[in-house]
Structures are given as C-alpha cells and as structure tokens.
Amino acid sequence: MSKVRVRKETGKLYLDFMYAGHRCREQTILTDTPANRKQVEALLSKVQAKILLGELDYAEFFPGSLNLTKIQKNQTAQTSASNDVSMTCEQKITPLFAEFADQWFLEVKIEWRSSHTRNVESIV
C-alpha cells in the first residue's frame, strides 16, 4: 500500500511504497500543504502505474536516491537468476516423472514385503 506521509521532524512530505520487494521511502523538499500533498500524490500515482506495468525506471523518478543502488543490485540478481533458470531448463537436469518413479521403486523395493511391492508396482 502506497501513501504520502509527513516527517514529524521536518514537516516535509515523503512517498512510502513497495517496489521490487523493498519498502521505499523517498523524501521530498515540499512542506505539508494541500497543494503540495496533491502534487506528491500525483507523483505517487504515476510511480504506482509504472510499477504495475513493470516499466518503472527508479533512476528516472528518484535520481539521487540511496535506494537506487539497492534496487539495481536486486534487479541484477533477478536477471542473472532468470538466466540461470533458462539455462537449467534447456539442459534438462530434472528427470521425468517416469524415470524418477522407476529409480525410486528400485531403491525402496528391497525394504518392502513382496505383497506391498506388487501393490506399489501396480500403482506406479
């Protein structure tokens, strides 16, 4: 949930929202007046729209932010993780169910009675 809030210490408005799994709080230089609050709420709605579309460029909206490096690291990690996932899918590391079931059955059937082995074999 995104909100426009006021710092008690300074009386300045700031944006409070979630992006890429991080809570982001971005300070403004605007004091809490109805006109300024309306302006910051409009900015927040633009940020939320970009987040929903997946098009938010954090550096464009908040160029000097300390959160920028944290978010860029997170995006880099997600990109490399998605590349790793696509490579593992192409390499077919995970066996098919039939292959796994056959291997499992061979490993555990020595622990079972012959009647139980027949029952499980009929199911698998």
Same domain? 61 vs 37 = yes
Whether the per-residue pLDDT at 109 is higher than 80: the answer is: yes
pLDDT in tens, 50-99: 999 989 888 888 888 888 888 877 777 666 656 655 555 566 678 888 88
Same domain? 68 vs 38 = yes
Q: Between 92 and 102, whose confidence is greater?
A: 102
Question: What pLDDT shows up at residue 79?
Answer: 63
- Torsion from C-alpha of 94, 100, 104, 105, nearest 10 degrees: 180
Q: Contact 16/23 with Cβ under 8 angstroms?
A: yes
Whether the per-residue pLDDT at 22 is higher than 70: the answer is: yes
Q: Which residues pair with 15 in a beta bridge?
A: 4, 26
Same domain? 44 vs 27 = yes
- Torsion from C-alpha of 109, 113, 114, 120, nearest 10 degrees: -60
Same domain? 46 vs 22 = yes
Question: What pLDDT shows up at residue 21?
Answer: 82
Q: Between 90 and 121, whose confidence is greater?
A: 121
Same domain? 20 vs 77 = yes
Question: What pLDDT shows up at residue 64?
Answer: 85
Same domain? 77 vs 117 = no
69/112 Cα distance (integer angstroms): 57
Number of domains in the chain: 2
How large is the average pLDDT for residues 6-29? 91
Record the pTM: 0.58
119/8 Cα distance (integer angstroms): 70
Question: What pLDDT shows up at residue 59?
Answer: 86
Same domain? 57 vs 98 = no
Question: What pLDDT shows up at residue 32?
Answer: 94
Query: 3-state class of 25 per DSSP?
Result: strand
Classify burial at 51, counting beta carbons within 10 Å of its beta carbon; exposed 0-12, middle 13-18, buried 19 or more: middle
Same domain? 42 vs 98 = no
Q: What is the mean pLDDT of the chain?
A: 86
Indicate the residue type of 69.
T
Same domain? 8 vs 44 = yes
Which range of residues forms the domain containing residue 119? 94-124
Q: In sequence order, which ranges of 10-66 are alpha helices (DSSP H)?
A: 34-53, 58-61
Q: Which residue, 52, 46, 47, is CA-closest to 24?
A: 47
Same domain? 99 vs 65 = no
